[in-house]
Structure 1
Amino acid sequence: MIISLSEQLTTAVPHFHVGLIVYKNIVIDESPQMLKGRLDFFQEKIKTDLLEQSIVDYPGVLEWKQTFKQAGIDATKNRPSHEALFRRISKGQPIPFIHSAVDLNNFFSLQYEIPIGLYDWDSLRDYIKLSIGTEEDTFQGINGRWNKMKGKFVSKDKQGAFGSPIVDSQRTKTTHHTKNALQIFYLRPSIKKEEALQLLRAASNMFFQIHSGEASIYYLNSSTPDLKI
């Protein structure tokens, strides 16, 4: 499978880059108590921190709002997914436990302050392209709505749009039946490549501890905008 960044995307945001982790032969189940405890503790810490600071004081939230603005995306109408998690916590609404993979993905989003997409690898077809959405790019999201992705960051395969740093699709979501998965880490544009790779290695190690299987790490930016997996 070819995974690529479109020229339109890297022109709009020259420092746009993503990390990718492909997992094979994993076992998804209810989250272990260790993960639930860490996620609960982290949410409590965020609630305490937000008594003395605002959500945009988190560097990763601010930088992604600025990145959306740079690309011409209204970040008040289309919030990056990690910002939505912070805002949910600020309102006293706990993040619900779904299953081990989604719960860990949410933990990573809060920890690293970036949007992260998680997809069932076997539901993806032929290629993956990260681009700026067109009129045709719509999908039914895990938020229960049809999402129009024109002018927004979007990921698509042969069957159409399936994900973004805003919301992901029902078609490619992970479930307890998922055996192979893809994570897309929408890295802060300011982070250096080596730091990004260190982040990806740490995330893949923790994912492996909970789900077993195998993990392969990849990195895409404007200098290396495509790769074959």
Structure 2
Amino acid sequence: MLDLSVSTKLKSLVPDFKAGVICYHHIVISEMPPMIADRLPLFYESIQLSLESQPFGEIPGVKEWRSVFKKVGTDPSRYRPSQEALLRKIKKDGQPHMIHSAVDLNNFFSVQFSIPLGIYDLDHVRTPVRITVGTAKDEYDGLNGRVMNMEDKIVSADSVGVFGSPIVDSRRTCVTEQTENALQIVYLRPSMPDEEVRKLISKIAEMFTQVHGGENEWTIIS
């Protein structure tokens, strides 16, 4: 299994922090299979309708992750947890922008379970990997087209530097249709019981592999 850990700094700020780590091997990324793609518009439509009467701050997963951000020094009104950003996109436009099966499925998981997820090309990640809190020198070219300064934000860093976060990920490790091996980091709600965590990670890993083929291995880190 991948050498991935949580830093003592992050543990001190968020003692109950935990994440699911899933590695996928020999996968094939393309368009979302019709059986799933045909159902997504209805799923997102129901989410959009629910958001008409529910403020974002009252959604349990959003509320909890805003709290986590505040603990590490991130202003959640300026830098939103990625699942909140997706929900705001759905409320405005009806659904997220479709890219390819890996990102589209990742977005589905994030909305369904109200948690941030990151997915990365494993062949572009240089171990060991550590989830920590960024410093003033940590920055990367984000998938949002901006240079992201990651000071006082939860980040994933390898031996090259920071490459991911529960806000937006980097271009350096992004997953494409040429990706054959991937790393998925599931930023769990700290309040989730261990048994619920294991069931959730197993479910995500199984569904991702059903869509993309290949094999998976997973663990929980805290």
- 1:35, CA displacement in angstroms? 2.2
Shift in CA distance, 52/126, structure 1 to aligned 2, threshold 3 Å: closer
Q: Distance in 2 between matches of 1:107 and 1:12?
A: 29
Question: Cα distance 1:181–1:20, how it changes in 2: closer, same or farther (>3 A)?
Answer: same
Corresponding residue of 1:203: 204
Deviations 1:82-108 (A, max 9, x none): 100001111125311111010000000
List per-residue Cα deviations over 1:161-207 (Å, max 9, x = no partner): 10000000000000010000010000001001111110011111111
Matched ranges for 1:1-229 at <5 A: 1-221=2-222
* Residue identity in the other structure for 2:40: L
Report the identity percentage.
47
**Considering only aligned residues, what root-mean-square deviation do their CA atoms show, in Å?**
1.0
**SS state at 1:91 partner:** helix
Distance 2:167 2:19 in 1: 15
How many residues are matched?
221
CA distance in 2, matches of 1:56, 1:40: 24
Distance of 2:95 and 2:87 partners within structure 1: 10
Q: State the AA in 2 paired with 1:174.
A: V
Q: What TM-score comes out, normalization by structure 1 length?
A: 0.94
Q: Deviations over 1:116-151 (max 9, x none)?
A: 000000000121011000122100011011000011
Deviates more, 1:8-17 or 1:69-78: 69-78
> What is the rounded CA distance, in whole Å, between the counterparts of 1:40 and 1:48 in structure 2?
12
Instruction: Please give the TM-score of this superposition, normalised by the length of structure 2.
Output: 0.97
Greater mean alpha carbon deviation, residues 64-73 or residues 197-206? 64-73
Gap regions ≥5 residues in structure 2: none
The 8 Å contact of residues 35 and 104 in structure 1, kept in 2 or not, is answered as no
**CA displacement, residues 1-57 of structure 1 (integer Å, 9 cap, x when unaligned):** 421100000000000000011000001011112222332222101111112211222
Which residue identity lines up with residue 58 of structure 2 in the other structure?
A: D
CA distance in 2 between counterparts of 1:72 and 1:82 reads 19
8 A Cα contact 1:22 1:215, kept in partner: yes
